[in-house]
Structure 1
Amino acid sequence: MRLATFNLLHGRSLTDGLVDPDRLTAAVTALDADVLALQEVDRDQTRSGNLDLTAIAARALGAPEHRFAAALVGTPGEQFRPLRHDDDGHGEPCYGIGLVTRHPVHTWQVTRLKPAPVRSPVYVPGPGGGLILLEDEPRVVLAAVLDTPHGDITVAATHLSFVPGWNAHQLRQTVRALRALPAPRILLGDLNLPAGPARLISGWTPLGRRPTYPTARPRVQLDHILADRHHRHRLPPVTAVTTPASTISDHRPLVVDLG
């Protein structure tokens, strides 16, 4: 069973700044993941060709189950608003996270997290980027209870705040929300926290320890796959951990094989 998490940067390449669906398809196909968590995902955004990036990823993996969970309606860093309800934003540009799986899904659960009440400096990659002061965005946790050959497993995707301290608060909220779902439980995503704090704050066990950011020469692990330590023994052992180079994004994907 292969797990992967990938911050897509809405499918943009740092080389030419373009979003190419064929390039995105190739990048996701190369991961060959049975469960794929996606962050910085667009749907109906002009900057990404009005594409549904989660659906493209699902087709690339031949995955029958996928879902996009919008964190906001509008464009991050520009004009946006929080969702009023889970079905809000249809026909409008949305931004959020995705979860794609080859395994049947029993149930889905969405948990919404409030943005930090303060602005924070953030480094934006690419031309015209640099250190800018940004308003935080609403966040979302998308969980699914899967029917797998290893039994029912809960997997969840998220992308936490870039505001120091607030991301720790959101991680605690996420762990509490996931306790309501069946064990064993796995959390995948860009937590905007290094490996040590992510482990200590969550109390969960890292399934893979590799730097994932920035993509050219990764120095820090912001992207994680964590398992609830109380039920880790019910999961197969880890047989491989990789962070393959990709033609898109400023993050590398984190890939964990369970054998």
Structure 2
Amino acid sequence: MTRLVTFNVQHGRSQHDGRVDPARLADAVVGLGGDVVALQEVDRWQPRSLGSDLAHAVVEATGVVEHRYLPALAGLVSGPGAAPRRARGDEPPHVPAYGIALLSRHPVREWWRVRLPVATPWLGPVHLGPDEPRVALAAVVETPDGPLTVVATHLSSWRRWNRVQLRWLARHLRAAPRPLVLLGDLNVPAPEPARITGWRPLVHVPTFPRHRPRTTIDHVLADGDVEATGPARAVDTGVSDHRAVVVDVAVGGGLHP
């Protein structure tokens, strides 16, 4: 069995006092007990997050063996002088950034990253519209049951464009090894993501907003020989405006010992 977690962390902001505390965020993720964890809205060296590397704080607390951080934006994203640009994905670790992270307790055979199409164009550092750039991060994880391709992403909040991005990503992943799971805040309510991709939804509980969830926009979609071993849970960690999603899965022959 492998525990999957997806969590939009809202740059680590507490819903109780509005503060950002990297240690509190790290403790919240540790408490979820994930073997593979996808995080969205992850700051690195941003003033609003106390100049912290949030992904590193979580990695240190969880003790995972494999991890990657993928910026969508590089540069300061808020405050005086903020002028973020679309990240290339290979920025040095000292550059302030905002993006997603993927962590695994199990070995990873292969990593790759994907830049998703944007709704409004960027001309170098100049953005000709309000939409943020979006990315996806993929890994072939060696679970105890066998290899599992895990893809983490955070799609646009634009109603039409997130559907375009999801269709594009599903096509892009046609050649990826199966079984496969897609984790993340898709900003598309259930059951639409399953209809768009043709993949099976493993989350059937509302995830947003945290205090009184009414809709499911944080998803785990499965394709191939991987199944949930029980119902997914939406967990209120006290951090972020989203609930974290936890689901246990078995891969291939792990379904039937």
Both proteins in one fold, TM over 0.5: yes
1:192 aligns to what? 187
1:137 aligns to what? 132
Query: What's the offset of the Cα at 1:14?
Result: 2.4
**SS state at 1:243 partner:** strand
1:173 aligns to what? 168
Distance 2:167 2:112 in 1: 17
Q: Alignment partner for residue 226 of structure 1, among 202, 221, 231?
A: 221
Distance 1:177 1:49 in 2: 36
Tell whether 2:86 aligns with 1:82.
yes
2:205 aligns to what? 210
Query: What's the offset of the Cα at 1:236?
Result: 4.3
CA 236–168 in structure 1, closer or farther in 2 if over 3 Å, else same: closer
Equivalent pairs, count:
239
1:106 aligns to what? 109
**Between the two proteins, what is the percent identity of the paired residues?**
49
Gap regions ≥5 residues in structure 2 = 122-128, 251-257
Distance 1:181 1:194 in 2: 25
Distance 1:105 1:86 in 2: 19
Query: What's the offset of the Cα at 1:222?
Result: 0.7
Query: What's the offset of the Cα at 1:15?
Result: 2.3
Task: Give a deviation string over 1:79-102, Cα, whole Å, max 9, x none.
Answer: 31102x321254221000000110
1:250 aligns to what? 241
Task: Give a deviation string over 1:185-240, Cα, whole Å, max 9, x none.
Answer: 10000000001111111111101211000000000011000012xx1xx2244223
Tell whether 2:39 aligns with 1:38.
yes
Contact 1:136–1:163, Cα closer than 8 Å, also in 2:
yes
CA 202–236 in structure 1, closer or farther in 2 if over 3 Å, else same: closer
Q: Alignment partner for residue 163 of structure 1, among 151, 155, 158?
A: 158
- TM-score normalised by structure 1 residue count: 0.87
User: Quick one: which amino acid aligns to residue 190 of structure 1?
Assistant: D
Distance 2:94 2:57 in 1: 18
- TM-score normalised by structure 2 residue count: 0.88
2:124 aligns to what? none
Distance 1:237 1:167 in 2: 26
User: Quick one: which amino acid aligns to residue 199 of structure 1?
Assistant: A
Distance 2:51 2:117 in 1: 26
Gap regions ≥5 residues in structure 1 = 119-133
- Larger displacement relative to structure 2 (72-81 or 138-147): 72-81
**SS state at 1:172 partner:** helix
Task: Give a deviation string over 1:16-62, Cα, whole Å, max 9, x none.
Answer: 22111221121011100001000000111111122221122222222
